A and B are shown apart, each in its own frame.
Chain A
Amino acid sequence: MKRLLSRLGSILERDPRKDPNAVVFLLLTFGVIAFPIAIQIVTRGSGSFLISQAADAGVYVLLAIGLNVVVGFAGLLDLGYAAFFAIGAYTYAFIASDHMEFTPIHQAIHIPFWIALLVGMFAAAGAGAILGAPTLRLRGDYLAIVTLGFGEIVPRLFRNASTWTSGVNGISALDTPALPIWLNGPWSGDAFAIVQNFKIIDPLAYYVIMAILVAISVVLVNNLRRSRMGRAWMAVREDEVAAAAMGVNTVGVKLLAFSIGAAFSGFAGTFYGAKLSLVSPENFGFTVSITILIMVVLGGMGNIPGVIVGALLIYYVIFNILPGLPQQASDFANSIGATSLNSPSGDWPGLAGEVQRLKYLIFGLILVLTMLLRPQGLLPSRQRAEELQKGVHEDTTIEDVNAEAT
């Protein structure tokens, strides 16, 4: 406790202009705790939809943290990251539903969610290792293409192998996570009682689980970054030849980055499957991979708080602002008297329809403009910022290295 307090004190003492990360971390922690309370107050107790959406946003935060290990730390461009997400989700579907009864195995498997989290994680990490082992020797841009190909193959495999995965329909009615024992009481509007096999259906419970998962992941990744392994990743990212000359086993190090990154998406996939209670091959396409990449790039490659902020921001834009925009646009056109804009003619589907089609363009522009104007992202890691802006490392001073190490 004392150590924790002194740690907190040292975070507060740091100059926020020099180290905005600590401030962002504190704000995020505060925000995660305050969010459900604030939402319930603002919406007068009917905010469970928003809380549920926040738990979904957490899935993307986990994915972004994982992809950040691959792209941000080790500098490997993975364009098929959604494949590992799919593998995590399908693993949960296989081992925690009645589905296996309808496959050639004829025996339903029900593994508790908490163990399935680990199974999903290892399945995704294993897939990452299997894909990575032969391909990580390749140069960077070839690796991007191989992962892209893998990302296209996996959902198609799940769609085509319908004896095992029931094809396009996906697998539904996955098990709800359950706690072995739970105390009911006035806080949930019940009388005091010990409930066995307590099923988790409340969005707030998912939100809490997600927050814990994200917190664990952040601590893990942060420690990894500062470990020997993390330094090796950054060395490989900056100059592979030099890193190899310093005795870094480049292929092994890259393989670990790849598997660890995949492991996080396995985590996220299991949670996603459990919460939605449905997996379908359509949910893991190229757009998902690109969405996660945009989150990492916009937030700041290599910087964990940056990536989290990027993920939350992009999630908010895609799932909250964009769906409401068409209606607002057509209302706006009506209010200024330009009603003719709203009626479809020829290729013009009406303003609302046209606004609905903006997603691709926005995705593309975010990627291009970020790389051109602020390649280090919104909340950069200092070292990465220098690298991306100058493209050379000669003038990295000793102080910079120290600042990165602490």
Chain B
Amino acid sequence: MVGSLKQARIAFVEAPIGRLVNLLVILAVLYVIFILAMKVVGQGPSYFLQILTFGVANGAIYALVALGYTMVYGIIELINFAHGDLFTLGGFISVFLLPIFGLDASKAGTAGIILPLLAVFIVTMLICGAINVSIERVAYRPLRRAPRLAPLITAVGMSFVLEGVMFLWKGPFNVPYPNLLPTTGFVIGGATIGVKDIFVIVVAGILMVVLALFVSRSRLGKAMRATAQDQDATELMGIDINRTIAATFFIGAVLAGAGGTIFGLYYNTMVFDLGFSAGLFAFTAAVFGGIGNIQGAALGGLLIGLITALWDGYMESTWTQVIIFAILILVLVFRPTGLLGMRVPEK
């Protein structure tokens, strides 16, 4: 009797309320899209193209950072809060390396920057990778069997440690990043597509394709996928889990380091706590695309970049962060598996 009453309550009260909430959320989202579309039509196509270019370039950077989140989450189910700060650290390291490799504003836009810049990229990526592997060794590995709360708290702690180091290094000021890339561009349909935009999109694209090939083709990639599925069984197959997880952290950090360098080259300014909001945006991208899914992270990054650019361009930019965090909450509540994710049971 009580059971059936309870079922009746669920059927008549809870389900319609749930549906009502769903409906309201969908209506709100549609309304926002409608307003945005009206503004887009009102402003004309060339402005829209400009915003789109900006959004794609922006999204490529988010995608690079999101990949690190998604890979680490995929393999050990840890939200690596420190990842966003590693991205900033990449920018800081590369701005430190630039003069060492003889790059300064006087060489901006010349062909002579290509090789040194490549060297800066590689060294930055390696340093970031090494730092992330040591973070994993020190702060996460000892807690792998501990309750979930423990590594999550150390991850927040590591994020503060990295921010603290950068704060000690450069202080609360904006760090100028030399404008090395050519400032020219092509005019297409009234919008200027800069060499910078193309550079960002191409470099990020190459890195992502290499990563996707690596994970799907190489031995280590296979080991990563196996570890993500079942650590114990993988270990029984003779795969060194610790090495595989360290490699995952290394690759994630390499992408974050590259992302930080690209960010610096694109925006020409950095600040020590950039990684907090950028990291959250990238995490939103990873969740949006389906966490644990590499293609999903790329897609999510692109979408978040586009949404940010559209909102900045057409609506009030003070609300952009609110919108992104609202998307984060809505996606987690209504579709925690994201756009491309699969339903994974809680371990």
Contacts and interface: CB of A to CB of B under 8 A. Distances in A.
A141 B329 CA distance: 13
B153 A286 contact: no
B344 to A, nearest CB: 10
Contacts of B86: none
A157 interface: yes
Contacts of B163: 360, 364
A71 B150 CA distance: 11
Contact of A148 (B143, B280, B326): B280
B157 A371 contact: yes
B164 A149 contact: no
Interface string A330-370: 00000000000000000101000110011111111111100
Contacts of B165: 361
A63 interface: no
Interface string B69-102: 0000000011100000000000000000000000
A77 B152 contact: yes
A145 B328 contact: yes
Given A152-B321, A372-B139, A364 B329 contact: no
Contacts of A62: none
A375 interface: yes
Contact of A371 (B154, B169, B276, B322): B154
B283 A145 contact: yes
Interface in B289-347: 316, 318-319, 321-322, 325-326, 328-329, 332-333, 336, 346
Please report whether the interface of chain B is mostly helix, strand, loop or mixed according to DSSP: helix
B164 A145 contact: no
- A interface, by DSSP: helix, strand, loop or mixed? helix
Contact of B326 (A153, A290, A391): A153
B164 A363 contact: yes
Given A153-B326, A365-B157, A388-B147, A360 B164 contact: yes
Contacts, number: 140
A249 B159 CA distance: 35
A293 B148 CA distance: 16
Nearest to B82: A364
Contacts of B149: 71, 75, 77, 140
Contact of B160 (A138, A353, A361, A372): A361
B79 A366 contact: no
A383 B84 CA distance: 35
A375 B328 contact: no
Nearest to B166: A360
A150 B322 CA distance: 9
Nearest to B327: A149
B171 A349 contact: yes
A293 B147 CA distance: 17
B335 to A, nearest CB: 12
Interface of B: 21, 77-79, 138-139, 142-143, 145-154, 156-165, 167-172, 276, 280, 283, 287, 316, 318-319, 321-322, 325-326, 328-329, 332-333, 336, 346
9 nearest CB pairs, A to B: A367-B157, A361-B164, A364-B160, A364-B161, A360-B164, A368-B157, A149-B325, A363-B160, A371-B154
6 contacts: A77-B153, A150-B325, A150-B329, A153-B326, A156-B322, A367-B157
Interface of A: 71, 75, 77, 79, 134-135, 138-142, 144-146, 148-150, 152-153, 156-157, 159-160, 286, 290, 293, 297, 347, 349, 353-354, 357-368, 371-372, 375, 387-388, 391
